Amino acid sequence: MSTETHLATNTTNEIASSQLNELVINWHITEACNYNCTYCFAKWEKPNELHGSLAAIEKLLDKLANYFIYGNPKIKRVLGYQSVRLNFAGGEPMMLGSTLSTALVMAKQKGFKTSIITNGSYLLKGRFKLVPDTLDLVGISFDSQHNSVRKELGRIDRKGHSFNVDELHLAVQYLLHTQKGLKTKINTVVNALNCEEDFFPLISRLSLDKWKVLQVMPTGRTDLLITHEQFSSFVQRHSNKGLPISAESNKTMTESYLMIDPNGRFYQNSKGVLDYRYSERITDVGVETALNQISFNYNRFKSRYYADNLLNIVGEVQA
């Protein structure tokens, strides 16, 4: 047995036997967005979005809480998680305004930890007011320090503005002052336009809890795709420098997320993100029936959180 294979086998066994502190459920609450990122996979052709009714939101939250938090389902027995975090994503969830604020408050009341993934553009100039202490974690998507690259990637609104480095610093400080105990994260999609960029000065200055770097998925322009070697090179260049980096390749992102679409259905990229499989609506059939209608890889899910798993060793060795 080679050293790499032995490492992969041992790591797989450790992951399988470990306990998970937190289960994360990603609810893409809306498809609407003020940006038009070329690699975005969150497109459902204008679905019947559940958030149009606060009663429907509460019904979904009740079903999720009763199953994942207060129940004793197989997923809890296998993963051994201690808490459940509901991550509101999009689109751009802050475009929902007070509806999102209400959903965050409801989620906290029902026992969830809460987080949000945002492009950051609504965090400044009073465009969105977060209720104090309703967020446990915020993730801001930020793919380049260069305005020309962000615009090329579609990270620009209709007025021609792109959320920049200075605004990112201001947004993080604003959030830390309004959300007690908040953890901060930056998500960076590594692609052909930014794979040679040096992010060390930016990330080190922000003092984040996590910097997640993700290999661009094949959902849009093919000229943005990068090889496994290019992605690994980006990660290696930013490693061992004291940065809180966590890396996810294409392989480790497959069947490793619990995702809900705007219509309130579980969905999964079993054969790559271009081949989604959807459940029936959770509020119609219940969580367990809906969850059994998609594929979910317990160990791959664990590997994304296990010891922050810098290079996702198992997925990389076997790639």
The pLDDT of residue 303 is above 90: no
Per-residue pLDDT for 269 more than 90?
A: no
Give the pLDDT of residue 312.
43
Local confidence band at 184 (pLDDT 50, 70, 90 cut-offs): very high
Cis peptide before 97 (omega within 30 of 0): no
**What's the confidence (pLDDT) of residue 91?**
93
Closest CA to 99 of 51, 167, 46: 51
pLDDT (tens digit per residue) in 196-242: 999 999 999 998 999 999 999 887 688 999 999 999 999 999 999 99
**For range 47-56, the mean pLDDT:** 92
| C-beta of residue 35 within 8 angstroms of C-beta of residue 94 | no
pLDDT at 22 over 90: yes
Q: What local confidence, expressed as pLDDT, does residue 129 receive?
A: 86
Q: Give the rounded percent of residues in the chain with a pLDDT score beyond 90.
A: 71
Instruction: Give the mean pLDDT of the chain.
Output: 87
Residue 98 falls in which region: left (phi positive, over 0), alpha (psi -120 to 50) or beta: alpha
107 Rama class: left (phi>0) / alpha (psi -120 to 50) / beta: alpha
| Per-residue confidence band for 10, with pLDDT thresholds at 50, 70 and 90 | very low
Enumerate the β-bridge partners of residue 140.
118, 186
pTM, entire model: 0.88
Residue 158 reports pLDDT greater than 70: yes
Q: Is the pLDDT of residue 273 over 70?
A: no
The answer for residues whose C-beta is within 8 angstroms of residue 171's C-beta and 6 or more apart is 120, 123, 124, 140, 163
Q: Look at residue 5 and tell me whether its pLDDT is greater than 70.
A: no
Tokens of 240: 């061992």
Q: Tens digits of per-residue pLDDT, 117-135?
A: 999 999 988 889 889 999 9
Number of domains comprising the chain: 1
Give the mean model confidence (pLDDT) for residues 160-185.
95
Check which CATH number belongs to the domain holding 171 and give it.
3.20.20.70
Q: Which residues contact 59 (CB under 8 A, 6 or more apart)?
A: 283
Kindly report, residue by residue over 76-132, the tens digit of the pLDDT. 999 999 999 999 999 999 999 999 999 999 999 999 999 999 999 999 888 898 899
Comparing C-alpha atoms, which of 92, 106, 111, 117 is closest to residue 26? 117
Strand order in the sheet with 245-248: 245-248, 210-215, 183-190, 137-141, 113-118, 83-89, 22-28, 258-260, 265-268, 277-281
Is residue 246 helix, strand or coil? Answer: strand
**Contact criterion met (CB below 8 Å) for 171 and 123:** yes
Among positive and negative, which fits the CA dihedral 190, 240, 309, 7? positive
What would the pLDDT profile of 237-260 be if each residue is shown by its tens digit? 999 999 999 998 877 666 678 999
Among 22-26, 256-260, 288-292, the least confident range? 256-260
Whole-angstrom CA distances from 297 to 16, 130, 149, 173, 212 are 11, 34, 35, 36, 20
What residue numbers bound the domain in which 24 lies? 3-318
